[in-house]
Each structure stands twice: as structure tokens, then as C-alpha cells.
Amino acid sequence: MSKSPVFIKEPYVKTSFANDKELDDFIKCSDPIMGYLHFMDNFFYIQHPTRGSMLYHPWDFQKELIDTYHRFRFSISLMARQTGKSTSAAGYLLWYAMFVPDTTILVAAHKYAGAQEIMSRIRYAYENCPEHIKAGVVTYNKGNIDFDNGSRIISATTTENTGRGLSISLLYLDEFAFVRPTIAKEFWTSITPTLATGGKAIITSTPNSDEDQFALIWKGANKTEDEYGNQTELGVNGFRAYKANWRAHPERDEKWAAEMRSQLGDDRFRREMEVEFIIADETLINPAKLIELEGIEPTFRQGQVRWYKKPTKGNIYVIGLDPSLGTGGDPAAIQIFEASSTTQVGEWKHNKTDIPSQIKLIAQITKYIVECTGEPNSIYYSVENNSIGEAALVSLNEYGEHNIQGTMLTESGVKKRKGFTTTNKSKLAACAKLKNLIERERMKLSSKSLISELKTFVASGGSYAAKVGETDDLVLSTLLVIRMIQLLGEYHFELEAQIKDHEEFLAPLPFFAVLG
Ligand SMILES: Nc1ncnc2c1ncn2[C@@H]1O[C@H](COP(=O)(O)OP(=O)(O)OP(=O)(O)O)[C@@H](O)[C@H]1O
Ligand SMILES: [Mg+2]
């Protein structure tokens, strides 16, 4: 036991309450569901750089943040600089240690100083906490505090070995994106088994590169769409994502932002204040444009087809299928576009739908469009006929083209096969067109999933493809639709005009020079 007994409560002494209010506050703080908020709002003291010692009253976004910490077993928060990440965590961890007995809490930060800073905030809060609320301590050091309820808080720098061998109930990682990538990866690999037995994890950081361990967990936490296109509370990795940029802070405004931006420079401001990841790879679409794309929620669904806009009379509709085996591996995808305005009106993607059912789906989609428009002659559909596509052509034949309303499109060329064949050359040409249409805002993308695929659609060996671990089926089916519209443009003048390149806007593909 260290020697600063003034502020420290002796272990195992009976707490006495001077009045009903004190007892009531203690009971409220002990509540496992809302106790943390009562504690943090009433008894958590912080040191403010200009205002001195003060009570922390969480701002609205901090309420959401600590609610996320508390409600979800695993949470990851992407936050702007100076938004109270470390402070909010310190208060929450102190509450946790004092009111949840027998827990081991590990605080790890990318630097020794960072871990110490959080510990010193925890100590400051503990020392200022009233007697009737605080728990007794057995050990009170710079790096660790042991409470008499069997709980302890330990701090460490994040290294490959941090936490190994400990049985951790709550892990807090501060500024995780700034731990060296190799260390972060190994640390994460070795720490996950210790969490598997029921531990909780809270990760907070401002963003860094879009490929580090923090970014990976963040991306997993944001994959919140189940196979029916519904949103789930948690990402595929079991993490809950929370995000707040500088605007969430009640004491900041545009004037502050303008000053900050000129101080930090544009790139740093975007990363540290707008919380944008740095995209290290060369994406097909300009990153500045990608960030602007938002997408919308489907307006209705038919089975697994997401519709963003009801088909209307007087438009040409184009439906492109990028088929797959449908045995659980690669997904198949269908795009539905209103060609005259290059607007995405519908989308479908699934990896367990067999090829005959994929063809049947095209028939259902075209039937529905006819129901809406009464114009079967304005519908064109097609399939990608490479490799697996051969099987799609067989299925199409069996199903019978006459059973599908609309016209099957086949690219002109020497090959007699129906549909569209993709070669490296045709893919690149379609990529260039897609880039041009999106960057010139001639194309309206609706699907959030398609936009998120575009963010990981990058230059790769003289062409473009999904980054390792990501998918690009929605992009590839969009490329097919573009080729279809180009082909149609030969007959429909208005389509030609819609998708025509404008010389002054024509940006070369990022690796144009390499292709020579
Ligand atoms: N609710 C609050 N009320 C008043 N001040 C607050 C509140 N939350 C945080 N602060 C103050 O805001 C400042 C920044 O807090 P903190 O260091 O926790 O932020 P951070 O997001 O961890 O910052 P950094 O990005 O620099 O690590 C501190 O001075 C802190 O005392
Ligand atoms: Mg901090």
C-alpha cells in the first residue's frame, strides 16, 4: 500500500452513509444497468485544462459513447481528436472496477505515457470521489490499483505480449490505430483467446491507415447487413461500431473548424477531425469522390431484391447478371439500372442461389418492370458469359428466352456466344467509363453495399479488383450494365449522349502510365 492515505479509502472498512441521499446515490451507482451513468454524471471529477477540477457531465455524444461501451461486449469507436475518449474511458473503467467485483481491467495504450495518462485520470477521479461511493483499495500504484472488492486495474503499453497470461474481464485499448501494425496484429491474435471466455473489449482511436488492425476491426464492425439486406446491431466480427467527428462536440463550430483546418492542413484535418481513414491503395474512383458517395436505404424489397426506385413508364431498363455457382462461395449479383439517367434502381446479391434460380430471378424482375411500365420493349437483360457464365447460358436456354419479358442483349463481335464476355481489355474500358460517369456525377448509385465495394475496388496487376478479403460482385455486375448501355447507345441516341465522355473531364486510369 502506498503512502497517500488522505485520499484513499482503507480496504474492508464498512461504508457509512450520512443520510438517505448518500445511500440512495450509492444504490443508484450500484445498478448494473444504469449505474455507470449515475456515477459518471455525479461523482466523476476531471481536470480541465482551463476550468480546473470539475465534474464530468457527459455531452450527448459521450452519453452515446459510454452507452456503447456498456451495452455491448465488444465495441470499437472511431472518434475525432480531443473528444474525451480517454477521459470517458477513465470514468467508465473506474466505475466498473468499483461496482463490478472480481474483475481484471487492462488499460493498454500505444505509448507508455498514454497508458500512464489514463491511469492518472483514474487516480484523480478516485481521489476526488466521495467516501460513501468509493471502494477501498488494497494496492495503489502508478501502474495498477487493486480494490478490496477483488477488482483491479492494470495499465500497460500495447506490445505483442501485453495481457498474455492474464484473465481479462475488460480490455481497454486507447489509440489502437497508432500501435505499430505488426505489433497490433500479433497483440490482437494473442489477446483474443483471453477475451473468448467472457471478457469485454473497448477500443477507441482516431483513424490512421485503412489497413491496420484497428481499421480491420472497424470494417468488420460496420458489416452490418445480413443476407436479407437487413441491418444488424453488431458487425460480422461481433463488434458494435460507434463514430463521432468534430461536429459532435458541443463547443465546436465552423469557425473553429476553419482555424483547425488551416493549422493542421487539409489531410490531417480530414483524418483527425473528420475521422476519415487514409486510403493507401489506388482506388478506381477518386477517394475524394468515394467519400462523398452515400447511398440510400432500399424503398422496398422483393425477396432479396432491393429496390431503390419504382420503375416508371418512358424509361429504358437494363438488367445485368454476374452469375456464380451459388454453392456458398462467390456471390452472384444482379444490377438494375434506369439507362436513360444511369440511375441504379435495384440490386440483388446472394451466394446460395443456384444458376437456374438466378435466371428465374431475371424473369421475375423483368415481369415486375413490365407490371410497372407496361413496356416490355424497353427492357434489356444480359449475363456475363465467362467460365461459370457458360452454365448460365445453358440455364437460360432451358428456361427459354421467350419466357422472359424484354430483350436479351449480346455484344457484337466474332464470338457466337450470347451475353457478354469479359476480357482484360473490355474490363478496363468499362472501368474507365464507370470512373468517368461517377466522377462527373452522371451516374446515380443507390446501394450502400455497392458503394462500399467501390471503396475496396483497387488497382491490381494491370487491372482492378477487390482488395484481399473483400468482394467486388456488385461492381462487376455494374460494369456489365455499363457495357450494355454502351451497346444500346448505338441504337438509342439519348443513351449515347448520357454516357458520352467529355474530353475535359476525361481522367486517365491511375495506372495508365504502367500500361503504356
Ligand atoms: N464532458 C466533458 N466536459 C468537460 N470537459 C471534457 C468533457 N470530456 C472531456 N473533456 C475535456 O476535453 C479534453 C480532451 O479529453 P480527452 O483527453 O479525454 O480526449 P481524447 O479524445 O482522448 O483526446 P486525444 O485525441 O488528444 O487523445 C480534456 O481536457 C478533458 O478534460
Ligand atoms: Mg486520448
User: What pLDDT, on a 0 to 100 scale, did the predictor assign at position 132?
Assistant: 96
Asked whether residue 507 carries a pLDDT value surpassing 60, the answer given is no
Asked if residues 133 and 179 have their Cβ atoms less than 8 Å apart, the reply is no
**Domain identity same for 491 and 457:** yes
DSSP states along 130-150: -TTTSPPEEEE-SSEEEETTS
**Domain identity same for 310 and 344:** yes
Which ligand 1 atom sits closest to the C-alpha of 48? Answer: 31
**Domain identity same for 84 and 176:** yes
DSSP state of 410: -
Asked whether residue 367 carries a pLDDT value surpassing 90, the answer given is yes
The verdict on residue 7 lying in a domain is no
Reported confidence tier of residue 506, pLDDT bands at 50, 70, 90:
very low
Residues 6+ apart with CB under 8 A from 354: 325, 326, 327
Residues 6+ apart with CB under 8 A from 379: 316, 317, 318, 319, 366, 369, 370, 405, 406, 407
Residues 60-94 have pLDDT tens digits of 999 999 999 999 999 999 999 999 999 999 999 99
Q: Tell whether pTM > 0.75.
A: no
Centroid of ligand 1 to alpha carbon of 184 (angstroms): 25
Beta bridge partners of 231: 225
User: What pLDDT, on a 0 to 100 scale, did the predictor assign at position 513?
Assistant: 31
Number of domains the chain contains: 2
User: What pLDDT, on a 0 to 100 scale, did the predictor assign at position 182?
Assistant: 84
For ligand 1, mutation pick of 77, 82, 269 (most atoms within 8 Å of CB): 82
Alpha carbon of residue 246 to chain centroid: 18
Q: Given phi > 0 = left and psi -120 to 50 = alpha, else beta, which region is 443?
A: beta
The verdict on residue 502 lying in a domain is yes
Could you say which of 219, 239, 272 is where a domain stops?
272
Beta-strand pair 407-408/74-79: unpaired
Query: Among 116-120, 245-249, 365-369, 459-463, which is the least confidently predicted range?
Result: 459-463
Reported confidence tier of residue 504, pLDDT bands at 50, 70, 90:
very low
Q: Which ligand is located closest to the Cα atom of residue 124?
A: 1
**Domain identity same for 238 and 311:** no
**Domain identity same for 357 and 217:** no
Q: Which of 248, 232, 205, 216 is nearest to 108 (CA)?
A: 205
3-class secondary structure, 243: strand
Q: State the average pLDDT over residues 276-293.
A: 82
Cβ neighbourhood burial of 319 (10 Å; 0-12, 13-18, 19+): buried
**Domain identity same for 242 and 349:** no
Distance, CA of 249 to CA of 252 (rounded, Å): 6
The verdict on residue 31 lying in a domain is no
Return the C-alpha cell found at 272. 483527425
**What is the H or E stretch that residue 257 is in?**
helix 254-264
Cα distances from 494 to residues 83, 101, 396, in angstroms, run 51, 71, 30
Which ligand 1 atom sits closest to the C-alpha of 59? Answer: 1
Which ligand 1 atom sits closest to the C-alpha of 272? Answer: 25
User: What pLDDT, on a 0 to 100 scale, did the predictor assign at position 500?
Assistant: 77
**Domain identity same for 391 and 477:** yes
3-class secondary structure, 506: coil
Return the C-alpha cell found at 337. 439500372
3-class secondary structure, 55: strand
Distance, CA of 205 to CA of 80 (rounded, Å): 8
**Domain identity same for 233 and 356:** no
Q: Where are the alpha helices (DSSP H) in 31-163?
A: 35-42, 60-71, 85-99, 112-128
Asked whether residue 198 carries a pLDDT value surpassing 50, the answer given is yes
Q: Given phi > 0 = left and psi -120 to 50 = alpha, else beta, which region is 512?
A: alpha
Output the ligand 1 site: residues, CB below 6 A: 46, 48-49, 56-59, 62, 79, 81-87, 206
DSSP states along 188-239: HHHHHHHHHTT-EEEEEE---BTTSHHHHHHHHHH--B-TTS-B-SS-TTSP
Residues 138-195 have pLDDT tens digits of 999 999 999 999 999 999 999 988 988 888 999 999 999 999 888 999 999 989 888 8
Main-chain dihedrals φ then ψ at residue 500, nearest 5 degrees: -60, 140
Could you say which of 272, 307, 327 is where a domain stops?
272
Reported confidence tier of residue 2, pLDDT bands at 50, 70, 90:
very low
User: What pLDDT, on a 0 to 100 scale, did the predictor assign at position 36?
Assistant: 98
Q: State the average pLDDT over residues 318-345.
A: 94
- The residue whose CA has the least distance to atom 10 of ligand 1 is 84
Residues 240-279 have pLDDT tens digits of 999 999 999 999 999 999 999 999 988 889 999 999 887 6
CATH code, domain carrying 212: 3.40.50.300
Centroid of ligand 1 to alpha carbon of 155 (angstroms): 19
Centroid of ligand 1 to alpha carbon of 483 (angstroms): 52
Asked if residues 35 and 95 have their Cβ atoms less than 8 Å apart, the reply is yes
Q: Given phi > 0 = left and psi -120 to 50 = alpha, else beta, which region is 387?
A: left
**Domain identity same for 268 and 378:** no
Cβ neighbourhood burial of 106 (10 Å; 0-12, 13-18, 19+): buried
**Domain identity same for 250 and 303:** no
Residues 289-327 have pLDDT tens digits of 888 888 899 999 999 999 999 999 999 999 999 999 998
- The residue whose CA has the least distance to atom 1 of ligand 1 is 58
User: What pLDDT, on a 0 to 100 scale, did the predictor assign at position 180?
Assistant: 86
**Domain identity same for 258 and 334:** no
User: What pLDDT, on a 0 to 100 scale, did the predictor assign at position 509?
Assistant: 54
Residues 443-471 have pLDDT tens digits of 999 999 999 999 989 998 889 999 877 88
User: What pLDDT, on a 0 to 100 scale, did the predictor assign at position 279?
Assistant: 67
The verdict on residue 325 lying in a domain is yes
Q: Residue 463's domain spans which residues?
A: 291-515
Contacts 24+ apart (CB under 8 A), 331-334: 331/471, 331/473, 332/358, 332/473, 333/473, 333/474, 333/476, 333/477, 334/305, 334/358, 334/361, 334/362, 334/365, 334/477
Average pLDDT, the chain: 91
Residues 6+ apart with CB under 8 A from 363: 399, 403, 404, 405
Could you say which of 208, 241, 272 is where a domain stops?
272
Amino acid in position 382: S
- The residue whose CA has the least distance to atom 29 of ligand 1 is 48
The verdict on residue 338 lying in a domain is yes
The verdict on residue 156 lying in a domain is yes
The verdict on residue 14 lying in a domain is no
**Domain identity same for 300 and 443:** yes
The verdict on residue 26 lying in a domain is no
Buried b (16+ CB within 10 A) or exposed e, 175-200: bbbbbeeebbeebbeebeebbeeebb
Centroid of ligand 1 to alpha carbon of 433 (angstroms): 47
CATH code, domain carrying 333: 3.30.420.240
Residues 6+ apart with CB under 8 A from 329: 351
